Structure 1
Amino acid sequence: MLRLRKCVVSYILSSSSTSAISPLRRLPSTTAAPISPNPSSFAVEEYLVHACGLTRPQALKASTKLSHLKSPAKPNAVLAFLSGLGLSGADAAAAVAKDPQLLCAKVDKTLAPLVDGLTGLGLSRSDIARLLSLTPDHFRRRAMLSRLQYYLPLFGSFHNFLRLLKNSSRLLYLNLDKVIKPNVVFLRECGLGDCDIAQLCIHAPRLLTANPERVRAMVACAEGIGVPRGSGMFREALHAVAFQSKEKIAAKVDYLKNTFRWSDAEASVAVRKYPRLLRKSKESLKRRAGFLFSEVRLEPVYIAYRPEILSYSMEGRLRPRYYVIKFLKQNGLLDRDLSLFYAVKMTEKVFAEKLICPHKEAAPHLAEDYATACKGEVSTNFRFR
Structure 2
Amino acid sequence: MLRLRKSILSHLLSFSATSPVSPLHRLLSAAAAAAAAAPVVSPSHSFAVEKYLVDSCGLTRAQAVKASTKISHIKSPSKPNAVLAFLAGLGLSSADVAAVVARDPKFLCAGVERTLDPVVLELNALGVSCSEVARLVTLAPEKFRSRCVVSKVQYYLALFGSSEKFFQVLNHSSNLLSSSLEKVVKPNVAFLKECGLGACDIVALSLSTRWILATKPEDVWAMAARAEAVGVPRGSGMFRQAMQAVAFLSEKKIAVKLECLKKMLRWSDAEVGIAVCKAPMLLARANDTMQSKSEFLISEVGLEPAYIAHRPALLSYSLECRIRPRYYVLKLLKEKGLLHQDRDYYNTVMISEKLFMERFICPHKEAAPHLAEDYAAACRGEVPTRFRFT
Q: TM-score when scaled to structure 1?
A: 0.90
The structure-2 alpha-carbon separation of the partners of 1:38 and 1:75, relative to structure 1 and needing over 3 Å to count, comes to: closer
Q: Corresponding residue for 2:209?
A: 204
Show structure 1 runs of 5+ residues with no match.
Answer: 1-24
Residues 73-119 of structure 1: per-residue CA shift (max 9 Å, x gap) = 21111111111111111111100000011111111111111111111
Letter in 2 for 1:216: W
Match of 1:104 among 105, 109, 131: 109
Instruction: Check whether the contact 1:182–1:212 (CA below 8 A) recurs between aligned residues.
Output: yes
> Is 1:220 aligned to 2:219, yes or no?
no
Residues 274-300 of structure 1: per-residue CA shift (max 9 Å, x gap) = 000000011111111111122111111
CA distance in 2: counterparts of 1:111 and 1:244, whole angstroms: 42
Superposed displacement of residue 230, structure 1 = 1.2
> Is 1:182 aligned to 2:179, yes or no?
no
Show structure 2 runs of 5+ residues with no match.
Answer: 1-27
Q: Corresponding residue for 2:262?
A: 257
Match of 1:91 among 90, 96, 105: 96
CA distance in 1: counterparts of 2:43 and 2:206, whole angstroms: 52
Q: Corresponding residue for 2:385?
A: 380
CA distance in 2: counterparts of 1:38 and 1:312, whole angstroms: 64
Q: Corresponding residue for 1:63?
A: 68
CA distance in 2: counterparts of 1:54 and 1:31, whole angstroms: 19
> Is 1:29 aligned to 2:32, yes or no?
yes
Residues 167-202 of structure 1: per-residue CA shift (max 9 Å, x gap) = 222211111111111111111111112222222222
Superposed displacement of residue 270, structure 1 = 0.5
Superposed displacement of residue 208, structure 1 = 1.5
Q: Corresponding residue for 1:19?
A: none
Residues 317-354 of structure 1: per-residue CA shift (max 9 Å, x gap) = 11111111111111111122112211111111111111
Q: Corresponding residue for 1:51?
A: 56
Superposed displacement of residue 36, structure 1 = 6.6
SS in 1 for 2:96: helix
Letter in 1 for 2:57: C
CA distance in 1: counterparts of 2:388 and 2:30, whole angstroms: 68
Runs of 4+ in 1 over 3 A off after TM superposition: 30-36
> Is 1:130 aligned to 2:135, yes or no?
yes
CA distance in 1: counterparts of 2:33 and 2:274, whole angstroms: 62
Letter in 2 for 1:339: D
> Is 1:118 aligned to 2:126, yes or no?
no
Instruction: Check whether the contact 2:29–2:89 (CA below 8 A) recurs between aligned residues.
Output: no
CA distance in 2: counterparts of 1:56 and 1:370, whole angstroms: 56
SS in 2 for 1:153: helix
Instruction: Check whether the contact 1:190–1:229 (CA below 8 A) recurs between aligned residues.
Output: yes
CA distance in 1: counterparts of 2:175 and 2:85, whole angstroms: 29
CA distance in 2: counterparts of 1:154 and 1:309, whole angstroms: 34
Superposed displacement of residue 52, structure 1 = 1.1
SS in 2 for 1:29: helix
> 1:325-364 alignment to 2 at 5 Å?
325-364=330-369
Single out whichever of 113-122 and 236-245 deviates more from structure 2: 236-245
Instruction: Check whether the contact 1:138–1:144 (CA below 8 A) recurs between aligned residues.
Output: yes
SS in 2 for 1:286: helix
> 1:162-181 alignment to 2 at 5 Å?
162-181=167-186
CA distance in 1: counterparts of 2:200 and 2:158, whole angstroms: 10
Identity %: 58
Q: Corresponding residue for 2:160?
A: 155
CA distance in 2: counterparts of 1:210 and 1:37, whole angstroms: 46
RMSD (Å), alpha carbons: 1.8
The structure-2 alpha-carbon separation of the partners of 1:46 and 1:36, relative to structure 1 and needing over 3 Å to count, comes to: closer
Q: Corresponding residue for 1:5?
A: none
CA distance in 2: counterparts of 1:126 and 1:194, whole angstroms: 25
Superposed displacement of residue 49, structure 1 = 1.2
Superposed displacement of residue 305, structure 1 = 0.5
The structure-2 alpha-carbon separation of the partners of 1:42 and 1:369, relative to structure 1 and needing over 3 Å to count, comes to: same
Letter in 2 for 1:289: S
Superposed displacement of residue 121, structure 1 = 1.3
> Is 1:142 aligned to 2:157, yes or no?
no
Q: Corresponding residue for 1:12?
A: none
CA distance in 1: counterparts of 2:125 and 2:372, whole angstroms: 53
SS in 1 for 2:141: coil
> Is 1:82 aligned to 2:121, yes or no?
no
CA distance in 1: counterparts of 2:235 and 2:89, whole angstroms: 48
> Is 1:316 aligned to 2:336, yes or no?
no
Q: Corresponding residue for 2:23?
A: none
CA distance in 2: counterparts of 1:282 and 1:245, whole angstroms: 17
> Is 1:288 aligned to 2:277, yes or no?
no
SS in 2 for 1:185: helix
Residues 195-247 of structure 1: per-residue CA shift (max 9 Å, x gap) = 22222222113221222122122222212211111111111112112242111
CA distance in 2: counterparts of 1:68 and 1:131, whole angstroms: 27
Instruction: Check whether the contact 1:115–1:128 (CA below 8 A) recurs between aligned residues.
Output: yes
Superposed displacement of residue 26, structure 1 = 6.9
Letter in 2 for 1:361: E
